[in-house]
Amino acid sequence: MKKDELELRKAIIAKCRWMNAAGLNQGTAGNISVRYKDRMLITPSAVPYDEIEPEMIAAMPIEGEYGAWKGPLKPSTEWRFHLDILRARPDVGAIVHTHATFSTVLAIAHKPIPACHYMVAAFGGTDVRVAPYATYGTKDLSDNALAALKDRNGCLLANHGMIAVGPSLDKAMWLAHELETLAKQYFHSLLIGGPVVLADAEIFRVKESFKGYGLQDKPLKGEGKPSKDPRKPSQPEDEVSKDQNKPSKGRDKPSKIKVEALYDETSAMQATSAASEPDSPRKRKKGKSPAAEPVLLGGTASKRVKVVA
């Protein structure tokens, strides 16, 4: 086995352990795959993460015989959607699937995540969809997941869990963590009357600004190295702080839609990540008060999500 493949296998195992330590998954419910040349490396089926060794990671040809695999242990039962995503999406280098609690709660309720927070833009569009239910491990589930992932880097799987995809393993895991955070925030907003949803134009603007800050396309550094505090992955803010001086089109201009408070928050995240105070009210520009009445933020372009009692 070549050194780079061995390192990648070790990185997969490290991420499996990290996602459980971070509360993103329970037991061996989740699985991870990574593109390595013309093969997919994927976690084996039903082996506790503490017991996985690099050689136990299964290898499957991406374009060869569908379902063929090599290794001492069978690949994850969810190999179909992992393989189908890698086949259909050349932009994807790694896939993380978990049963993270809040993502799964929304998936159980068949609730897609709307643009309730600007971070939804990190997933490529104005929402995170729910793939219709199909039995685990089936081709139907894979087809449903692929459709829900169209133009997206993450989706929920009805009555099951979630998937996050990225160009690298670090980025895919970062997105999995972000998706669970979004799901948790959206879930709680439903308890207090439902979110005020941001206008589509604002999400597209944020998506563009992420490209300039390395959040969209650039593979993250430190692959395979979990952060010291499993609940606090450091990658995204590190990436932001490195690039914080790059100009961003329209960053400081008020938009036609009233989203100033949102911009303040984005700028604060970019400016203060090194100080670990991403949303400190003290960093807000003078004369702009925090959103006391969030309903006004999106102006007429926002819409309130109906809460089903």
- Which residues are tagged catalytic? 78
If one counts every other C-beta atom within 10 angstroms of the C-beta of residue 57, the result is 28
Of 208-267, which residues contact Zn ion (CB under 5 A)?
A: none
172, β-bridge pairs:
none
Of 135-164, which residues contact Zn ion (CB under 5 A)?
A: 161
Query: Cα–Cα distance between 96 and 75 in angstroms, integer?
Result: 14
Minimum gap (Å) between residue 76 Cβ and Zn ion: 9
Which string of b and e fits 11-38 if b means at least 16 CB within 10 Å? bbbbbbebbbebebbeebbbbbbbbbee
* Closer by beta carbon to Zn ion, 44 or else 161: 161
The angle subtended at Cα 298 by Cα 295 and Cα 303, nearest 5°, is: 75
Of 158-217, which residues contact Zn ion (CB under 5 A)?
A: 161
DSSP 240-293: HHHTTTS--TTTTSPPSSS-HHHHHHHHHHHHHGGGT-TT-GGGSPTT----SS
Instruction: Tell me the number of residues near Zn ion by CB under 5 A.
Output: 1
Minimum gap (Å) between residue 31 Cβ and Zn ion: 7
* Closer by beta carbon to Zn ion, 26 or else 255: 26
Query: Cα–Cα distance between 187 and 207 in angstroms, integer?
Result: 23
* Closer by beta carbon to Zn ion, 104 or else 266: 104
Minimum gap (Å) between residue 250 Cβ and Zn ion: 40
Of 15-44, which residues contact Zn ion (CB under 5 A)?
A: none
Minimum gap (Å) between residue 99 Cβ and Zn ion: 6
Of 52-81, which residues contact Zn ion (CB under 5 A)?
A: none
In this structure, what token pair is assigned to residue 191? 């308890």
Task: Round to the nearest angstrom and report the end-to-end CA distance of the chain.
Answer: 56
Binding stretches for Zn ion (CB under 5 A): 161
